Each structure stands twice: as structure tokens, then as C-alpha cells.
Structure 1
Amino acid sequence: MTRRAQREPFVWEGGEVLAYKEQDGTHRAVTRQVLTDATQGQGTSLRYFEVGPDGHTTLERHEHTHVVIPIRGHGRALVADRVLPLAQHDVVFVPSWAWHQFRAPVDKPFGFLCAVILDRDRPVLPTPDQLADLRRNPEIAAFIRA
């Protein structure tokens, strides 16, 4: 495949829009579409995530890095020890082992492309002590959903 056209806004041909981690309760109102994978032979995967109004991704960290580019709406993200406002076409680098979480505003969806390596480790959730440590920062405490 050399081209995957949008069949409707933010929905691409050849890929399913799937609820993401719905069963584990760490996300709220998140979908995922895999846009590229191992069949393209690049060693990376490009995915589109959409966080519904007032939704959020998991508060997690892992060894692999990833790059996020918002393409729908705006949102905010915790990356390491900072809460960042995110607008369309910003570029966000999530370093290895940095805590991160993405949130949509209460009234609109927030969509972003996320590039990662194919062979990646599993996310790690915060322990109660790590969560307490993160919450020592009032801005982070007000932001995170765990």
C-alpha cells in the first residue's frame, strides 16, 4: 500500500476505528486507527488516536519514545513534569520513561497522529507512591486522571 485516503474526516480507508483499551478502565472515550504497520517494512507504526470530549488516555510510561502531532482540535498533555497546551500541527516528543497522558477539552474531540517503533515495550502504570509523587505538583494533580 502506498496511499490510504480519508474516506471521511479523520477516518482512513483500510483500517478499523477501534475503541482503545476500553476494557481496562485507564482510558476514557479513546479510539485508535492503525495507519501503517509492519507490512510497510519501515519498523515504525503510525496511528491516529481520537480522544472524545472530556476523555483522556492512560497515565503511563514506557521505554520506547513516541512523537505526537495533533491534527484535530486542541488538547493538553502531561509529558514528564509539564502540562502542555496542544494545538493542531504542534509536535510533541515523549521521551523514554516519561509519564504522559493526553486529554481532550470537555466539549470537543481531540485527535492526534502518534508514531512509534513496531517492537516496543508494554506501558507501565504508576504505583500509588508514584501517583502521590506526581500529585505533589498542583498543576499535575489538577490535570491527571488515573
Structure 2
Amino acid sequence: MTSTSAGPVTHRRQSRPFVWEGGAVLAYKEADGTFRSVTRQVLTGAEHGQGTCLRYFEVGPGGYTTLERHEHTHVVIPIRGRGSALVVDRIVRLALHDVVFVPGWGWHQFRAADDELLGFLCAVRADRDRPVLPGGEDLAALRRDPRVAAFIRV
């Protein structure tokens, strides 16, 4: 890990594929049960003065992130494996190096393929709001579309 004497880290090397120096690989939302088989590593944060955070998420085979929405936006770039995502009301198949924009208040959930993990970079504001999980009416509205109903995991 490289830093300057006057500031935060300016360079992070990969210590092994898809693991960067200086940031722990942590189980994501370990206690809340709204996801399956997800880890997160924070790569940059507010200390860099950009107002953004860059994180790397890895979803194990057959795993999924939380179905949620919030005010802040996301920019997601898959860099490993295969998977799909719900973005607002569309199911999109993810290819390596695609750019996925999740708008504010848009429902979203990322899923790995059943036989392969999915790794992606995710950029968000450093100062962001807490996620909102779907209630009964939200789930009913989402499930009106059979493709979305078949995709989502809660």
C-alpha cells in the first residue's frame, strides 16, 4: 500500500486476484439475512476528497445481494464471473466491463450465476442514505411482472 506523507493512500496493489492491499474482505450485511454469499471490500472512501466510495463486491455462485432502493445512485461494473441484475423494473444479463447505472430510488438486486461467482466494482457517494427494503405492497408491485417475480430473492 502506498501513501504520501501528507495524505491518504494513493495506490493499492492487488495482493492476490480481486483482493487489494489495505482493505479487509468482509461478509456483507452478515446479520440481516437479506442477501446470500456476498463479500465487500472498500477500495476508496471519503478520505480521498472525491465525495465517492469505490467498493468491490463478490457474490458467490447462486448468491444475491439485498433487494433494496435508496436515494443515492450506483455505478456498477462487473469485472469477474457472470450474473444478472434487477435494475428498477428490468432484468439485465451482465457481461464483464458493462456499466450499470442504478438511479436513485430504483429497486436493484444483483445475482451470480448458479455455477459461477460475480465480482463487481460499485461506486457510490461517500455520504449516502440507508437502504429501504421492500414491504408487502412493494413486493406485490414488483411481482406483477413475471420476469421480475422469478428473479428476485427476499
TM-score strictly above 0.5: yes
**For residues 83-122 of structure 1, what are the structure 2 equivalents within 5 Å?**
83-122=91-130
Asked whether the 8 Å contact 1:16–1:33 carries over to 2, the reply is: yes
Matches within 5 A, 1:134-145: 134-145=142-153
- Give the Cα–Cα distance (whole angstroms) in 1 for the partners of residues 85 and 144 of structure 2: 17
Match of 1:41 in 2: 49
Contact kept? 1:66, 1:116, Cα under 8 Å = yes
Which has the larger Rg? 2
Deviation at 1:107, TM superposition (A): 1.1
Runs of 4+ that moved beyond 6 A: none
Amino acid at match of 2:52: T
CA contact (8 A) 1:22 1:28 kept: no
Q: CA deviation at 1:129?
A: 1.1
User: Aligned partners of 2:15, 2:115: CA distance in 1, in Å?
Assistant: 25
Q: For 1:94-136, what per-residue CA distance to the aligned partner results, in whole angstroms no more than 9, with x for missing partners?
A: 0010000000011111000000001100000011111011001
Shift of 1:81: 0.6
Q: Could you tell me how far apart the structure 1 residues matched to 2:23 and 2:95 are?
A: 25
**CA drift at 1:138:** 0.3
Q: Secondary structure at the match of 1:39?
A: helix
Q: CA RMSD in A?
A: 0.5
SS at match of 2:115: coil
Instruction: Say whether 1:67 aligns with 2:85.
Output: no
Residues paired across the two proteins, number: 146
Give the counterpart letter for 1:38 in structure 2. Answer: A
Give structure 1 stretches of 5+ with no counterpart.
none
Deviations 1:17-61 (A, max 9, x none): 000001100010000000001221111000000000100000000
1:54 corresponds to which residue?
Answer: 62
Q: Distance in 2 between matches of 1:22 and 1:14?
A: 21
Contact 1:50–1:111 at 8 Å: present in 2 too?
yes
In the alignment, structure 2 segments of 5+ residues that lack a partner are: 1-8
Give percent identity, aligned residues only.
73
SS at match of 1:136: coil
